[in-house]
Amino acid sequence: MTYVTHDESAFVPPIEVEEPELYHAKTFIGKYIWSQDAKVIAVQYSLTAIGVGLVALVLSGIMRLQLGFPHTFQFISPATYLQFVTMHGMIMVIYLLTALFLGGFGNYLIPLMVGARDMVFPYVNMVSYWVYLFAVLLLLASFFVPGGPTGAGWTLYPPQAILSGTPGANWGIVLMLISLAFFIIGFTMGGLNYVVTVLQARTRGMTMMRLPLTVWGIFMATILALLAFPALFVSAIMMTLDHLLGTSFFMPALVSQGRVLDHNGGSPVLFQHLFWFFGHPEVYIVALPAFGIVSDLISINARRNIFGYRMMVWAILAIGGLSFIVWAHHMYVSGMNPYFGFFFATTTLIIAVPTALKVYNWVLTLWRGNIHFTVPMLFAIGFVFTFVNGGLTGLFLGNVPVDLPLSDTMFVVAHFHMVMAVSPILVVFGAIYHWYPKVTGRMLNDTMGKWHFWITFLGTYCIYYPMHYLGILGVPRRYYAIEGTDFIPASAHSVNEGITIAALIVGTVQLLFLYNLIWSYFKGKPSGGNPWRATTLEWQTPETPPKHGNFGPELPVVYRWAYDYSVPGAAEDFIPQNQPPAKMAATGRAKA
């Protein structure tokens, strides 16, 4: 591995503009707690997200226990069951996946991959994390307030979300809404950083079209999030006011438990529009970083350039643009005008085109590649399978006449878990196995990693494949227990038991992953600077783990794209982005 400083390529000085003043921490607390270094903030974000994600994982285990073995567990009442469903969903979508992909991977990878010393606004970046942590604590606090957390379902539809029949209607829902508002404020601070760093802080030679696809994915997802999260903010604020001050934004005139409420004339469908105007882009906020990361993992481990780089970039742009005009496909059963339904079904099917294009390109990158079945590669290939499966059932549900009978059944649960729960989390695992050596300087244990992959991958199929059949039978989602219904045969209950056992096994094996994270930190094989023989800039840092400022005295200069693998005639099967063209290096050396 040759680290080329500008001396050897005398023509191009590293960078002319004044470099930002870096924040220099003096104490332990300044370095690791109130840190303004994006890499430390990334680890803080990741650990917090994984921690709260574990809570949500345990909740899902409890839900499965209830569904698989009803009437066995005293501590699960209908109310607590709904609370666990709600908290599981909200935590996983927002507080784990969004925070981990953008706050975690975004913070770590953007400055390193674009060749910057740090984010452009380090102080704002630090505040972003602490606001996020505050939002997480507010959310978790709702477990300990009178009435417990809200049980309104993660979509929080009014009027039921704030009526007294729903669990957590006093404290839980308010904490949830305020926590969401804080999450959005914190995210906006971070998001400004990610976007402006990509736009303005790229090192010399790093044009937009030489960015690794990981950065493209995170960049576009951040733009979507910045524009879509305000919709959730608006709905959270207005629902809080409905609940606390008695306004009637969403609350219609109604009689609740024999009492006529003061609300009048509000529109619950208005909430649904606002919620899904955020909610659908949210799917792509999670998916686009996963797309980007998977592209890089596949290219590195197949030792081939990514097939159709420009197409991949344009597909990310197209998906980002289209994701704002498909939201109402979540609302086919809200009584909308059939022509509206037709419009949204059409846009939904159109968005499948750029998405399918990406899948073809991943497969074509693998075609005749020199495939290394490393653990990150296993997870990346696992993602492609799972994403295709989940995406295909999306085509079913995108069509109005198919969606109507399947709406609110286990089919929907199986679909969205395949496409936006299992798929992204496989990428999260792959990415952690891939970048852990850069963060810690040690490799994760390979054997444990392979066990972790195979049990997780096959296990999730045991969970979600049968669930589609339950949905087609008509088994509804969010039900505490199903009894006395003729259309659900006894065999469906056996399937539920099987799913629960698979879910518990998959849940437990994540402990192996956590153990691996801790064990390898102390005992893992030292990785060196570039264990995957990758081209992107984060692997070319002078130190591993990179010090504050990332690149030593001089920023790298980028001469090529991120995908120079197996270039014919090259000495090695990869050429780092900062390695100058052969001719230039020769003249540079001669002069020196």
Partner 1 sequence: MTTALVLLSAIMAIVVGWLVRHTLNVSPWQEQGAAEIARGNGELAGLPVQVGLVVFMAVATSLFALFISAYYMRMAEADWTNFPLPTVLWLNSGLLVLASVAMQMTRTAARRGSLDGIRKGLVGGGVFSLAFLGGQIWAWRQLNASGEFTPANPAYAFFILLTALHGIHVLGGLFVWARATARAVRGIDLGKVRLSVELCTVYWHYLLLVWAALFFVLLNTHR
- By CB under 8 A, name the binding residues for partner 1: 9, 11-12, 120-121, 188, 191-192, 195-197, 199-202, 204-210, 223, 226-228, 230-231, 233-234, 237-238, 241, 245-249, 262-267, 270, 273-274, 277, 305, 309-310, 313-314, 317-318, 320-321, 324-325, 557-561, 563-564, 581, 584
Beta bridge partners of 260: 255
Of 159 and 266, nearer to partner 1 (C-beta) is 266
Distance of CA 525 to the CA centre of its chain: 29
Of 98 and 456, nearer to partner 1 (C-beta) is 98
Of 86 and 125, nearer to partner 1 (C-beta) is 125
Cα–Cα distance between 100 and 136 in angstroms, integer?
Answer: 13
CB atoms within 10 A of CB 140: 18
Dmax of the chain from CA atoms? 91
CB of 183: closest distance to partner 1 in angstroms?
A: 14
CB of 98: closest distance to partner 1 in angstroms?
A: 16
Cα–Cα distance between 312 and 306 in angstroms, integer?
Answer: 9
Of 151 and 205, nearer to partner 1 (C-beta) is 205
Cα–Cα distance between 569 and 583 in angstroms, integer?
Answer: 14
- The H or E element spanning position 260 is strand 259-260
CB of 64: closest distance to partner 1 in angstroms?
A: 37
Closest among 503, 408, 507 to 464, alpha carbons compared: 503
Of 23 and 324, nearer to partner 1 (C-beta) is 324
Task: Find tokens 């997480």 and name the residue.
Answer: 136
CB atoms within 10 A of CB 291: 28
Give CA torsion, residues 37, 42, 45, 51, to 10 deg.
-130
CB of 111: closest distance to partner 1 in angstroms?
A: 13
Cα–Cα distance between 64 and 61 in angstroms, integer?
Answer: 5
Closest among 19, 9, 17, 11 to 550, alpha carbons compared: 19
CB of 273: closest distance to partner 1 in angstroms?
A: 6
Of 77 and 256, nearer to partner 1 (C-beta) is 256
Cβ neighbors of 245 (< 8 A, separation 6 or more) are none
9 touches 585 (CB < 8 A): yes
What amino acid occupies position 420?
A: M
Closest among 161, 163, 120, 167 to 143, alpha carbons compared: 167
CB of 52: closest distance to partner 1 in angstroms?
A: 25
Q: What is the DSSP string of 209-221?
A: GGS-HHHHHHHHH
Of 57 and 251, nearer to partner 1 (C-beta) is 251
The answer to whether the peptide bond before residue 159 is cis (omega within 30 degrees of 0) is yes
Distance of CA 231 to the CA centre of its chain: 19
Of 71 and 310, nearer to partner 1 (C-beta) is 310
Closest among 265, 261, 230 to 248, alpha carbons compared: 265
CB of 42: closest distance to partner 1 in angstroms?
A: 19
Of 12 and 65, nearer to partner 1 (C-beta) is 12
Cα–Cα distance between 549 and 545 in angstroms, integer?
Answer: 12
Of 11 and 396, nearer to partner 1 (C-beta) is 11
Of 180 and 414, nearer to partner 1 (C-beta) is 180
Cα–Cα distance between 558 and 562 in angstroms, integer?
Answer: 9
Enter the tokens of residue 347.
């846009």
CB of 200: closest distance to partner 1 in angstroms?
A: 5
Of 198 and 412, nearer to partner 1 (C-beta) is 198
Enter the tokens of residue 72.
């066995």
Using DSSP's 3-state secondary structure scheme, residue 125 falls into helix
